[in-house]
Amino acid sequence: MVNEREQEILMEIQNLKSVYGTNGDSILALDNINLKIKRGEFLCVLGPSGCGKSTLLKTLAGYIKPTSGVCLMQGEPITGPDWHRGVVFQSPTLYPWMNVKDNVEFGPKMRGLPPKEIEEIRNHFLEQVKLTGFSEKATFELSGGMKQRVALARVLANYPQVILMDEPFGALDALTRVNMQSLIRYIWRENNSTILLITHDIDEALLLATRIVIMSKRPGKILKEFNVDFTHTIFEDESKHIIYNEEYYKVKNEILDIINSQIEE
């Protein structure tokens, strides 16, 4: 499904190399990464544990600087964290002393929006993540999935240009995980979001992405890209019978072959 909006390059990674530590004791985490993130796409980055996925995400978020190369956001170099790039980690980073409502309102308040608008934004996104009625709860009272939904609402409340998610459902039980996948797919479509989601779960990538990028084991390089569209098909057929179709297994097996060839090396 090609539309014009998806052709706009929102972020670009050019010749990114990332090294931890100094000369004697250094780890090359990422090597020569080149990637463009188009507005409106749901990009999943898939790779084995320790291959540099979180390093890539933190670099895009602006938390860490490239050793060499550059990351651009709408053509401008990324120099630090910014509200325009919302980040969701595996363990929700909520403010434990704040209730649900205050966590979600935090960004709009910091940006000095008028109280009425803050309230509207908060109610809208609490509804979107299905937490209306929980606004006064303390975050420690919530289950893991609910905490992750608060984290998501808090990010959405800033209307970010892109949402960067680092294995956001990795710590959740299987059923909650499936529910969260449906929710994020719905939110992506409803808000016309641009999402980069990191995962080591092939099915998660296949069920959500419009494009999948496969990374090698460390030092992380990009091995291959797949354009997929099962996520749109699932909108049409919520029963997810899609996962039994031939095309799905064809792509899944291709991805498995790439990943397995890395393990055997």
Q: Which residues in this chain contact ligand ADP in the complex, by CB under 6 A?
A: 20-21, 27, 29, 47, 49-55, 218
For Mg ion, which residue of 54, 148, 158, 231 counts as binding (CB under 5 A)?
54
Residue 64 or 243 with smaller CB distance to ligand ADP: 64
Distance CA 194, CA 144 (A): 24
In Å, how far are 33, 119, 141, 161, 189 from 40, measured between CA atoms? 21, 27, 34, 9, 9
Choose the binding region for Mg ion from 51-59, 131-139, 174-182, 240-248 (rule: CB under 5 A): 51-59
* Contact range with Mg ion by CB under 5 A, out of 53-61, 101-109, 128-136, 206-214: 53-61
- Write down the residue that tokens 């354009």 correspond to: 227
Please choose which of ligand ADP, Mg ion, none residue 29 contacts, taking the beta carbon within 5 to 8 angstroms, the exact cut-off set by kind.
Answer: ligand ADP
Residues composing the chain: 265
- DSSP of 59-118, one letter per residue? HHHTSS--SEEEEEETTEEP-S--TTEEEE-SS----TTSBHHHHHHHHHHHTT--HHHH
Residue 109 or 221 with smaller CB distance to ligand ADP: 221
Least separation in angstroms between CB 95 and Mg ion: 23
Strand, helix or coil for residue 245: coil
User: How many amino acids of this chain bind Mg ion (CB under 5 A)?
Assistant: 2
Q: Which is nearer to ligand ADP, 49 or 143 (CB)?
A: 49
Binding segment for Mg ion (CB under 5 A), chosen from 47-55, 153-161, 243-251, 252-260, is 47-55
For residue 192, is it left (φ>0), alpha (ψ between -120 and 50) or beta? left
Q: Which residues contact 66 (CB under 8 A, 6 or more apart)?
A: 16, 17, 18, 59
Cβ nearer to ligand ADP, comparing 60 with 118:
60
Q: Is the peptide bond before 81 cis (omega within 30 degrees of 0)?
A: no
In the complex, least distance from residue 36 CB atom to ligand ADP, rounded to whole angstroms? 20
* Minimum CB distance to ligand ADP smaller for 50 or for 69: 50
Q: What residues numbered 106-135 form the site for Mg ion, per CB under 5 A?
A: none
Task: Choose among 191, 195, 199: nearest CA to 163.
Answer: 195
Site residues (vs Mg ion, CB under 5 A)? 53-54
